[in-house]
Structure 1
């Protein structure tokens, strides 16, 4: 008997939600490690262990790589490393949920770069409203505008790095996918490692820290990437992109449960604006058959 479509969709949807929960719970747990080795140290552990896992899985040395593809992979990996480092630096002073929402400015900007429809500009207006409420621009008395400016600068840098990661990744993806991802993550580890070593020193190699770093890498990279790949193969890209737009809300909930980070009602509204804008842009782009980047966090 042929499985009904609702039943067939249930497993990939559950896998995708589980992947997002794993990623953001891993990020929240990573933030709890900052007192031990600092934000740069945790970032180095996450990216370093992720690179080792991907190298073991894909063994990229088995395939030849031309100079042009290698150049794009290096740029892709450098953007990935900076994105991770800057995002973790931002988490030192601002909550996880707003940080993820602000970082979404990167992929949203890329998705809208080729836009020509009025509806898309209405969606970006909604995204701008959400960002305006989150950024420390209006001096709001209810605390929404009280996000640390330095932390916001870091997460805006992470958003720019995410946009570059998408653009470079589209070029790097012309090589074998597994080879590009594993070598890109290795490049990211090389970029981030000096910052982690400078901040944490020998503490980075303490056994409990290494175990925790491995757990962060599995929860924030290996497991969610695997679950997202499973879901993407069974869901159409439109549904996948819309569901990934829920990531800021999942991040805020993970931070509430793991770290006790409470947001104001207006901050939740701002995050909802970013989610709605991301979902709207994804829906409009897929209906017109344009290839736009997914907006799930890497």
Structure 2
């Protein structure tokens, strides 16, 4: 009897989702969260076994997206931690607020990742699928889905991201990206095995590299220093040229004044041509003259 309401529920959700994908990133992730949360809880009600990981079916419009869920006791999580679907939750982790059982939903958006999250990556491009981890209170399913967090006691949840190829140049530029619930993105360095690390808060994880046309900030600094140094050299050269031109001009003016003030004729003395004054300004006085 509930198949018909379920059909209309998903039809409405997916219709709004298709509009949100073309408009707003936050609306898209929120609607995805509601849809996948509902599917996870419906599937878990029919598979109540604790500690068993199983996949859930999704509508065809979400083909390429994979969701797996597992139900765990909180004391088991505290003693042993959890290692499912490339997520490693450390030991001594507890849900907050505390509940006796939790439902963990692992989401992998696969080849649909760039479709749902492209609006938040203006300067970077995805090189891995986007994955996410969600935790809910599973003590009593009749109360409906209630989100809980994970207190890892200052430890980190490890997210292994693999199965992708990048060029050798981009291999050194890979960053771990975490999408927050408000649409913000935080970048961090990846681990030695290309893994990301996060806390117990909601978020989406993926690996990214700078998109084409995006220049690293360090390169901009180098380019700026080179341009500044070249400009300084050009300014100094221009200054020297101005000083040289002024000096040459002054010498020419002095030579011209000297040429205009005194006209000398030339005479030949022996085999040499020598300048000779026409008049003598100071006449010689002979000492023995009467």
Tell me the TM-score normalised to structure 2 length: 0.29
- Whose relative contact order is higher, 1 or 2, with alpha carbons under 8 Å and at least 6 apart? 1
Larger relative helix fraction: 1
Tell me the TM-score normalised to structure 1 length: 0.29
